[in-house]
Amino acid sequence: MLNMFEVIETNDMIDKDLLDVRTITIGIGLLDCIDTDLNKLCKNIYDKITSTAKDLVRVGDEISKDFGVPIVNKRISVTPIALVGGSACKTKEDFVQIAKTLDKAAKDLGVNFLGGYSAIVSKGITAADRLLIESIPQAMNETDFICSSVNLGSTKTGLNMDAVRLMGKIVKDTAIMTADRDSIGCAKLVVFCNAPDDNPFMAGAFHGVTEADAIINVGVSGPGVVRAALKRAEGENFEVLCETIKKTAFKITRVGQLVAREASKRLGIPFGIIDLSLAPTPSVGDSVAEILEEIGLERVGAPGTTAALALLNDQVKKGGVMASSYVGGLSGAFIPVSEDQGMIDAVNAGALTLEKLEAMTCVCSVGLDMIAIPGDTSEETIAGIIADEAAIGMINQKTTAVRLIPVIGKGEGEVVEFGGLLGYAPIMPVNGFSCEKFVNRGGRIPAPIHSFKN
Amino acid sequence: MNKVIITVVGKDTVGIIARVCTYLADNKINILDISQTIVSGYFNMMMITDMENATVKFTKVVEDLDVLGDEIGVKIKAQKEEIFKSMHRL
């Protein structure tokens, strides 16, 4: 029978250390909505999403109440829209109409984000892909809850440098188009290499074509819980440190597994995966940076940061895979700047630079995330940063992502406020030397030698 | 069996257990086990209960106990047992 200390431990995790289930995300396949008539297509999309996910918010709230654990977000991911809209959309504006339809569906359902305004162009760009990508700035400007992602490389295919160059421009254009709101459009736009098909976290969630018609993916979080556990292991050696992280990750993931199973049962939709990412929020104590500091760094960015993050990421995965048979998505530690108070403090203290963050992305589960850069950064430089990050993903057979916000009208040292989960960020300096000739070469970077395993 | 764990945490005062038990009895919720301790003046109690024959819905119990907790000046939570078993039992 359960004992009191176990019950108190669980409730302390929830009440004091901010343990939560970050998101229940329903992935919905939209391929069966395809029609050559745009209005018909939009109606099909709206009907399918609103019927499949009609009970999502209610069921999420019920599960939260049953177990006394917060379920912060209820979200939807859909088939990459470039695939769905290809036969109906002849102009950028046609794609924007789909974005608005998705936005309306998200609002009517009461979910807080819908991801999948996406294109998968790791090797080549179709006409529909190009139209969708070119429509992103307008779509991000004219919708509130839609998240967009573009996968432009993989270990198997190499890097599509035409797409890299194009996305440098699109990120900048999105910033310009949403300049009146501190370029917030870019906070909903992420560029990937090796994007997973089943990621429940935004802005990069989409429902891959390898997936079933509808699927439940759950993202669990809890950096505060790991930090609290490590506080009790202060001064211990690495073996104890790793064991502590692993056990904590196991416990956190089990909660996610329970919620996922319940959500699947109550919604009548199959369970897909648990994504056991430590996802910080701007709340004090809900920080990945603070875990790294607890491990022994004065500030994130100090020498040793990459090693500390590597062990954290690995132990989180090891604890998680024991707790759930279906672990997927990104799974590991997220290191967004604006969403993590410890990261913001480290930038302000001069401890953390863009280059150090890039090194950290070699060993964490994502990439350069929610980083505000000066508004006058050129689109070529943004493309160069994307290329660097994608190359890390391609060579290391891992997912990498870039979510940069060039804040129009603001420069280094100024602060940009996004509000809510997106937080605020000091604008970080970018290396001013040019990569223009490099990113303008055009074509593809071939797949690395170790991808030829057949 | 429909096991629900009720926890009460807060400053110790007269009649906490009585008030909670009365509520449970009134609503036909059976108590299977109670453990209780006081750490530096703070009252910690855990009850394992069975709601199989309860006359009210679980969500109502959560709300009622929350209100009752506010009246007594303690924090009362009711949670289905599975969250604890998932976390602490293989």
The sign of the CA dihedral A130, A134, A140, A142 is negative
The three-state (H, E, C) secondary structure of B10-38, written as one string:
EECCCCHHHHHHHHHHHCCCEEEEEEEEE
Tokens of A52: 């499949």
**Which member of B7, B83, B85 has the closest CB to residue A69?**
B83
pLDDT score for A365 = 84
Model pLDDT for residues B11-69, shown as the tens digit of each residue: 988 999 999 999 999 999 999 999 998 877 788 999 999 999 999 999 999 999 999 99
Q: Is B1 on the interface with A (CB under 8 A)?
A: no
Q: Is A1 on the interface with B (CB under 8 A)?
A: yes
Q: How far is CA A72 from CA A112, A331, A345, A411, in A?
A: 10, 18, 25, 33
Q: For residue A251, list chain B residues with Cβ-Cβ distance below 8 A.
A: 87-88
Which 10-49 residues of chain B touch chain A by CB within 8 A?
A: 33, 35, 37, 44, 46, 48
Q: For residues A80 and A118, is the Cβ–Cβ distance under 8 A?
A: yes
Q: Is B50 on the interface with A (CB under 8 A)?
A: no
Measure CA of the first residue to CA of the last residue in chain A; give whole Å: 52
Q: Is A231 on the interface with B (CB under 8 A)?
A: no
Report the C-alpha gap between A282 and A424 in whole angstroms: 8
pLDDT score for A434 = 98
Tokens of A85: 């809209």
Report the C-alpha gap between A291 and A310 in whole angstroms: 12
- Residue A422 DSSP class: G
Report the C-alpha gap between A179 and A404 in whole angstroms: 14
Measure CA of the first residue to CA of the last residue in chain B; give whole Å: 20
Q: Where does residue A203 fall: left (phi above 0), alpha (psi -120 to 50 degrees), or beta otherwise?
A: alpha
pLDDT score for A420 = 79
Q: For residues B49 and B31, is the Cβ–Cβ distance under 8 A?
A: yes
pLDDT above 80: residue A265? yes
Q: How far is CA A140 from CA A93, A95, A96, A117, in A?
A: 12, 12, 9, 10
Report, as an integer, the average pLDDT of A153-158.
97
Report the C-alpha gap between A16 and A19 in whole angstroms: 8
Which 48-87 residues of chain A touch chain B by CB within 8 A?
A: 62, 65-69
**Which member of B33, B35, B77 has the closest CB to residue A11?**
B77
Map residue A367 onto helix, strand or coil. coil
pTM beyond 0.80, yes or no: yes
Report the C-alpha gap between B74 and B38 in whole angstroms: 13
Cis peptide before A203 (omega within 30 of 0): yes
Predicted complex ipTM exceeds 0.95: no
Burial of B31 (0-12, 13-18, 19+ CB in 10 A): middle
Report the C-alpha gap between A439 and A446 in whole angstroms: 15
Model pLDDT for residues A374-400, shown as the tens digit of each residue: 999 999 999 999 999 999 999 999 999
E-assigned strands of A224-367?
Answer: 271-275
DSSP β-bridge partners for residue B74: B10
Q: For residues A292 and A303, is the Cβ–Cβ distance under 8 A?
A: no
**HSE of A90 in the Cβ direction (CA atoms, 13 Å)?**
4
Model pLDDT for residues A204-256, shown as the tens digit of each residue: 999 999 999 999 999 988 899 999 999 999 999 999 999 999 999 999 999 99
Report, as an integer, the average pLDDT of A433-452.
96
Task: Give the Cβ contact number of residue A150 at 10 Å.
Answer: 32
**pLDDT-based confidence at A298, cuts 50/70/90?**
very high
Residue A370, Cα to own-chain centre: how many angstroms? 10
pLDDT above 90: residue A353? yes
The sign of the CA dihedral A164, A121, A388, A220 is positive
pLDDT above 80: residue A109? yes
pLDDT score for B42 = 86
pLDDT score for A222 = 86
Over chain A, what is the mean pLDDT? 95
Percentage of chain A beyond pLDDT 70 is 100
pLDDT score for A352 = 97
Q: With residue A31 as reference, give the H or E element that holds it.
A: none
Q: How far is CA A333 from CA A16, A392, B55, in A?
A: 21, 17, 45
Q: Is A322 on the interface with B (CB under 8 A)?
A: no
**CATH class of the domain whose range is B3-88:** alpha beta
Q: For residues A363 and A395, is the Cβ–Cβ distance under 8 A?
A: no
Model pLDDT for residues A411-428, shown as the tens digit of each residue: 998 999 988 778 899 999
A432 Cβ contact list (under 8 Å, min separation 6): none
All structural domains of chain A, each given as residue ranges with its CATH number in brackets, are: 20-193 (3.20.70.20)
Report, as an integer, the average pLDDT of A342-356.
96
**pLDDT-based confidence at A1, cuts 50/70/90?**
confident
Q: In A78-233, which ranges are continuous DSSP H helix?
A: 81-85, 92-109, 127-142, 161-177, 223-231
Identify residue A165 by its one-letter amino acid code: R
For the CA atoms of A403, A409, A410, A411, the dihedral, rounded to the nearest 10 degrees, stands at: 100
pLDDT score for A45 = 98
